[in-house]
Amino acid sequence: MGGSALARYIVRRLLQTIPVVLGVVVLNFLLLQLAPGDLATVLAGEAGGAPKEYIDQLRQRFGQDQPILVQLYNYLRNLLVLDLGYSFRQSAPVLDLLLKRLGPTLLLMGATLLISLLVGVAMGLLAALWVRTWKDNVISVAAIIFYATPLFWIGLMLILVFSIKLDWLPTSGMEDVVAFNEGFARVVDIGRHLVLPTITLSMFYLALYARLMRASMLEQRGLDYVTTARAKGLRERQIITRHVFRNALLPVVTMAGIQFGSLLGGSVVVESVFAWPGLGQLAYQSLFARDFNLLLGIFFLSACLVVIVNLVVDVIYVLLDPRIRIG
Amino acid sequence: MKTFWQRFLGNPRVIIGVGWLTVVLIVALFANFLAPRDPFSIVASPFIRPSSAYWLGTDSLGRDVVAGLMHGARTTLLIAVFATLVAVAFGTLIGAVAGYYGGLIDDVLMRITEFFQTIPSFLFAIVLIAVLSPSAMNLVIAISVVSWPPITRVVRAEVLSVKSREFVQAAVVAGQRDSAILLTQVLPNTLSPLIVTGSLLVATAILVESALSFLGLGAPNQMSWGFMIGAGRSFLRDAWWLVTVPGIAILLTVLAINLVGEGLNDALNPRLADL
């Protein structure tokens, strides 16, 4: 497979994402229309009431007196230049607010993805190797329980045990701001704050990956190529590591990509439990401030992130599995 | 060959799941009878530890936790079951139409389904409730809007595999209308995967409902498990049971539904059960 074929594939996949992004934009616009009270009435309400002429004047300034299709066109045009509107609650452009919160969220996502994949794949692999023994049962039951655990609850339980009772780890935030840590000390501090939110968010996904990995390993192990490998005298260890493991990993990679959107949703809950200063917490705050511009901006950015991650996963998939033909 | 019921009820996991679900259902059905007072009413002083008078103590306002759990079971189950029913109905309709007619209709409907699967669903549910304002009805709408795509996929796949079979062609030749063929010939054959997916969806719906209630987006004036955890979280240090107990209720219920759903799957597809 040549580099240019891969490039063409990426371009084609990028083009395919356009309808999704457009769909989210239109959905956002419709939701804004559905939201109770427009910006003008909200601002007037903030000021403690205003005459109707003033509200009309405000609407005119925001372009809200235009026909709805013109408004949609303006909204689309603004988004094209990444103008996501202005948050009147936080007195800042929505885009600035989002970019400030993106880093912590990506850090939490990345750590969660890493932990849940590593632990989940290891658990599934071991369960499959020990299939129908008590060890397999222990792993499978643990996975079923993790799978049913509400994220926000396990987060609070971890705080109760490790922060309140044992006092090992901090309860909330991303770093100890009054400590003014720098350099390596700061990294350690952030790492310590990261432990509990990551475990909380990982629980569900590692259970999912463990179950998928186990099923996938067992399925692959029964296929013909394994018999062939065994017939040509490969040792069991080589068969597992060289052949079965690699093939069994593919569905897990796909699932990890599919689950990214739900991971972002889960981060809203986890970030609000741990006061982690990311997009999820911002969503939670904007919810109660009734700051729809900001909330929909977060939704838009999250959808874009999901689309990008799906694209990356597809490319990884092509690189991992030479059987998939592109172009 | 064992029958469906032998396979289903011979599975110890299913028995555990059915047992717990029966308890929760009875409590939810008879909540008004078992705990006649409004679960929001103040019955004693706040933060009473679990005791013989109040089995699980009282919360920060002096409300009885046991009464809250009972009424919470009712709210959470009602919303989850209704949301699932709506999602199953809608998802089946879209999946059946897409699979049966194929071509352009299928393309368009599946693109829409993919779109709803791509967007971050929990965030979308939050946005929907924020815009529509929190109420039991809107919770049902929001949860079903984010849960129908898997149903559509399952039904479409089944319809595709069934529609070219001879009994369907016979019905076409016999002049049955499309709607009649779909309802009487095709859909009954999609029932078993639909039941499995639907039952697992109830578990997801409970988790989503609890998370939304926890965030303060639940139905106002209706006690729910998620709300109880949200209300108790500020007092975690001094009254840990306020958070712990409703969480265990959610965990056990979701677990029980998953066990029963998987048991159904194994019993309906005995050849796959060994995997």
- The reply to whether residue B203 touches residue A19, judged by beta carbons under 8 angstroms, is no
Any idea which residue has 């064992």 for tokens?
Answer: B2
Judge contact between B105 and B45, C-beta under 8 A: no
Q: How many domains does chain B have?
A: 1
- The tens digit of pLDDT for each residue in B126-140 reads 888 888 888 888 899
pLDDT on residue B141:
93
**Residue B127 belongs to some domain of the structure:** yes
A215/chain B closest Cα distance in angstroms: 7
B96-146 per-position pLDDT tens digit: 999 888 889 888 998 889 888 888 888 889 888 888 888 888 899 999 999
Residue closest to A126 by CA, chosen among A210, A199, A43? A210
pLDDT at B88: 93
Contact state of B233 with A31 under an 8 Å Cβ cutoff: no
At B198, list the tokens.
């639907």
* pLDDT at residue B20 tops 70: yes
Q: Does residue B25 form part of some domain?
A: yes
Nearest Cα residue to B187 out of B203, B175, B171 = B171
The CA distances from residue B185 to A72, B99, B153, B158, B176, in Å, are 44, 14, 19, 12, 10
ipTM of the complex: 0.83
Q: How far apart are CA A250 and CA A213, in angstroms?
A: 9
Own/partner long-range contacts of B177-180 (Cβ < 8 Å, ≥24 apart): B178/B100
The answer to whether B76 and B226 have CB atoms below 8 angstroms apart is: yes
We report the CATH number of the domain holding residue B179 as 1.10.3720.10
Q: CB-CB: which of B117, B216, B236 is closest to A156? A: B236
pLDDT at residue A43, rounded to an integer: 66
Spell B138-153 as b/e; 16+ CB within 10 A means b. bbbbbbbbbbbbbbbb
Give A7→chain B minimum CA distance, Å. 23
A36-43 contact pairs (CB < 8 A, 24+): A36/B131, A36/B133, A38/A62, A38/A64, A39/A64, A39/A88, A39/A293, A40/A64, A42/A88, A42/A290, A43/A88
Dist. CA A73–CA B273, nearest whole Å:
54
- Give B206-240 as a DSSP string: HHHHHHHHHTT-S-TT---HHHHHHHHGGGTTT-T
**Cβ <8 Å between B130 and A295:** yes
Q: Is residue B49 part of a domain?
A: no
Specify if B174 maps to a domain: yes
Return the residue of A nearest to B273 by Cα: A215
The answer to the question of residue B33 being in a domain is yes
Token pair listed for A187: 């990294």
CA pair distance B229, B211, nearest whole angstrom: 10
Asked if B239 has any chain A CB less than 8 Å from its own CB, the reply is: no
Inter-chain CB proximity A151 and B111 less than 8 Å: no
> Which residues of chain A make contact with B20, given a CB cutoff of 8 A?
none
pLDDT band of B274, cuts 50, 70, 90: very low
> In angstroms, what is the C-alpha Rg of chain A?
24
pLDDT of the residue at B165 = 82
Work out the average pLDDT over B62-84.
85
A vs B, Cβ pairs < 8 A, gives 131
Nearest residue of A to residue B120, measured between CA atoms: A261
* Model confidence at A164: pLDDT above 70: yes
B182: closest CA of chain A, how far (Å): 30
Identify the weakest region by mean pLDDT among A20-29, A179-188, A241-250, A262-271. A179-188
- Which three-class secondary structure state does DSSP give residue B260? helix
A295 close to B (CB below 8 A): yes
Tabulate helix, strand, coil % of chain A (nearest 5): 80, 0, 20
> CB–CB of B240 and A218 under 8 A?
no
pLDDT digits (tens, 9 = 90+) for A275-285: 888 888 888 88
**CA-wise closest residue to A304 among A12, A20, A7, A81:** A20
Partners of residue A86 on adjacent β-strands: A93
Instruction: Choose from B108, B115, B131, B260 for mutation: most chain A CBs within 10 A.
Output: B131
CA-based R_g, chain B, Å: 22
Tell if the CB–CB gap between B131 and A34 is shorter than 8 Å: yes
Residues 104-133 of B with CB under 8 A from A: 111, 115, 117-128, 130-133
**pLDDT recorded at residue B1:** 63
**Token output for A91:** 């007195």
C-beta separation of A147 from A237 below 8 A: no
Residue type, B236: L
Evaluate if pTM is beyond 0.90.
Answer: no
Specify if B126 maps to a domain: yes
* Domain boundaries, position B200: 4-37+54-274
In chain B, the residue whose alpha carbon lies closest to the alpha carbon of A221 is B275
Q: Is A145 on the interface with B (CB under 8 A)?
A: yes
- Asked if A295's CB is within 8 angstroms of B237's CB, the reply is no
Question: How far away is chain A from the Cα of B180, in angstroms, using its nearest Cα?
Answer: 34
Query: Is B46 contained in some domain?
Result: no
Cα distances from A84 to residues A18, A74, A78, A80, in angstroms, run 17, 11, 7, 9
Q: Is the dihedral of CA B156, B160, B165, B170 positive or negative?
A: positive
Looking at residues A52-66, what average pLDDT do you find?
Answer: 72
The torsion defined by the Cα of A23, B112, A202 and A146, in degrees rounded to 10, comes to: 150
Q: Tell me whether residues B119 and A306 touch, CB distance under 8 A.
A: yes
Indicate yes or no: CB of A144 within 8 angstroms of CB of B217. no
For residue B42, is it within any domain?
Answer: no
Min Cα distance A183 → chain B (Å) is 33
Is the CB of A35 inside 8 Å of chain B's CB atoms?
yes
- The mean per-residue pLDDT over the stretch A106-121 comes to 91
Search chain B and give the residue with CA nearest A302: B120
Q: Is there a contact between B254 and A150 if contact means CB atoms under 8 Å apart?
A: yes
- Determine, for residues B123 and A302 on separate chains, whether the beta-carbon distance falls below 8 Å: yes
Closest approach of chain A CAs to the CA of B130, in angstroms?
6
In this model, does residue A1 exceed pLDDT 70?
Answer: no
CB B149 within 8 A of CB B196: no
CB contact under 8 A, B118 and A20: yes
Q: Within an 8 Å CB–CB cutoff, is residue A26 touching chain B?
A: no
Q: Do B275 and A219 touch (CB under 8 A)?
A: yes
B229–chain A nearest CA distance, Å: 7
| Selection from B213, B225, B220, B211 nearest residue B253 by Cα | B225
Q: Please give the backbone phi and psi of residue A92, each rounded to the nearest 5 degrees, phi first.
A: -160, 155
On the question of pLDDT at A250 being above 90, the answer is no
For residue B118, which residues of chain A lie inside 8 Å, CB to CB?
20, 261, 303, 306-307, 310
Give A-chain residues touching B123 at CB under 8 angstroms.
264-265, 268, 283, 298-299, 302
Q: Taking Cα atoms as reference points, which of B133, B209, B17, B146 lies closest to residue A288?
A: B133
Q: Is A256 on the interface with B (CB under 8 A)?
A: no
